[in-house]
Structure 1
Amino acid sequence: MRWSFKEDYNRKEQKNQEIYRQRRTLVMFSRVFQRGFGLVSNSARSAVLSPTIPGFLRPFSTSPAQWATLNQIKRGVEPPRRKRMTVSPDLERCPIRKGVVLRVMVLKPKKPNSAQRKACRVRLTNGNVISAYIPGEGHNAQEHSIVYVRGGRCQDLPGVKYHLVRGAGDLSGVVNRITSRSKYGVKKPAADN
């Protein structure tokens, strides 16, 4: 194939026209969004700009969607992805962890509430030491007991982000519990005939 100056020139000219067309549309979009669409909010503008999900498929939110800006789209940058924070970090992505009770405590809840909440300090198998709430009425947890810890904070105890699992390890189930037995480690009572 022979090299032709004219073909090479035409190819470059087409490429330049395509780049010019893209820049012109970006400038046009940016001018429209700088002026605004009257009463259209930032969230609607970002939904129009969204390269991945159209606005009508996105769940309703009062805060604007965090997609890439026009300049970022022009540069070809991916939209920022926020890292999900775990609510129970010491379990290290496990649903339940085994641990040893270090100390049993009685804590007072936050301001509007008043009670004696039973909790304990537990050293998990991964070495982390945490505070865990003991659910249900009465317990037999003491120092050196082997217990199982699940996630779930106690809403009125600051710093307590974990629950002990009743009826597992050395921690017994709740005595005389009739309802919600599975949550408190109670076996089904024998039918009396």
Structure 2
Amino acid sequence: MHWMEARRMPGLNYGGRLLVGRGIMWKILHQCHQRLNFAFKHVNVSIQCQTAWSNTNTSLWQRMWPLMSVMTSSRGISVDQLHRRGPFHKKPNPNKTHPTDHRPQLKGVVLKTLIRKPKKPNSANRKCAKVRLSNGREVVAFIPGEGHNLQEHNIVLVEGGRTQDLPGVKHTVIRGKFDCGHVVKKKK
């Protein structure tokens, strides 16, 4: 498939620009290899080039080169490597797993209570707790509301949900569950 043909394909053309994602690039490359049967690499076939800027006889490899350069420029690999290895897929990082194992809440034990300072422009003392979750991980959880009764070795229920002005605090203690009491309303 010539790169000018790819420009005419629906889904690849947008305002005269060639939009080719990695999956579509792989399909186009695979079609090229099937149709040409590697002729463009081993045999110097002369074909009438139908580009917008020239009408000269060029080899098949020269005719295919604009498409190949579009397809291989993003990863910096050769056409043969792309054909042998297949399309590039990003592998998930095994170290970046969800702290709560994708569960909505987890029970945990308070290791110690902390006071954290928020990011600029906010100014306060935010009450947090270092909690060892039931899956063995240790996280810092924000304690919402005014005042709390948490101490070391208390059992709390922790849910996901970051506090926007506290860096690294991505969990929240649920008030009124286990050893963490409800927020006490002030009497007038």
TM-score, scaled to structure 2: 0.55
1:52-91 superposed matches below 5 A? 69=71, 77-78=86-87, 80=89, 83=92, 89-91=98-100
Q: In structure 1, list runs of 5 or more residues that go unmatched.
A: 1-24, 53-68, 178-193
CA displacement 1:131-169 (0-9 Å, x = unmatched): 110012221111111001111111111111111111111
TM-score, scaled to structure 1: 0.54
1:104-123 superposed matches below 5 A? 104-123=113-132
Does structure 1 residue 29 correspond to structure 2 residue 3?
yes
SS in 2 for 1:90: coil
Structure number having the greater strand percentage: 2
SS in 1 for 2:141: strand
- Could you tell me how far apart the structure 2 residues matched to 1:129 and 1:77 are? 40
- Identity among equivalent positions (%) equals 39
Sort the Cα spacing of 1:88 and 1:151 in 2 relative to 1 into closer, same or farther, 3 A: farther
Q: In structure 2, list runs of 5 or more residues that go unmatched.
A: 28-70, 73-78
Sort the Cα spacing of 1:115 and 1:85 in 2 relative to 1 into closer, same or farther, 3 A: farther
CA contact (8 A) 1:106 1:119 kept: yes
Deviation at 1:88, TM superposition (A): 7.5
Matched with 1:152 is: 161
- Could you tell me how far apart the structure 1 residues matched to 2:95 and 2:164 are? 16
Report the more deviating stretch, 152-161 or 79-88: 79-88
Sort the Cα spacing of 1:30 and 1:40 in 2 relative to 1 into closer, same or farther, 3 A: closer
CA displacement 1:69-104 (0-9 Å, x = unmatched): 585886693562564999982212222111111111
SS in 1 for 2:99: helix
SS in 1 for 2:181: coil
1:96-175 superposed matches below 5 A? 96-175=105-184
